Amino acid sequence: MTNQKRVFLSAEWNNLILFNYPVKDSYLKPYLPTGCELDYFENSAFVSLVAFQFLNTKVFGLKWPGFTHFLEVNLRFYVRFKDQRAVCFIREYV
């Protein structure tokens, strides 16, 4: 028996558009998870508005009727947790 990890979510991302904006730290701190700190680029924290199409989406290798192809828009910002970079979502619309 092997210990292969099952893939939770697989999909294609198409027609991606990404808008990045520098913002004041005070705007993002209320959304900052415990143990995380803001990640900076050129001394600024950034928020991103991202829109794209999910295509051929599968959960654990299975297509779910009505959820295979859809649009997503999300508002996110960038953090560090210990020495790793991560993304925090403020809103996500599917």
Q: Which conformational region is residue 66 in: left (phi greater than 0), alpha (psi within -120 to 50 degrees), or beta?
A: left
Pairwise CA distance, residues 53 & 14, whole Å? 5
In this prediction, residue 74 carries a pLDDT of 97
Res 86 pLDDT > 90: yes
| Cβ-based neighbour number of residue 78 at 10 Å | 19
User: Confidence band (pLDDT; 50, 70, 90) for 38?
Assistant: very high
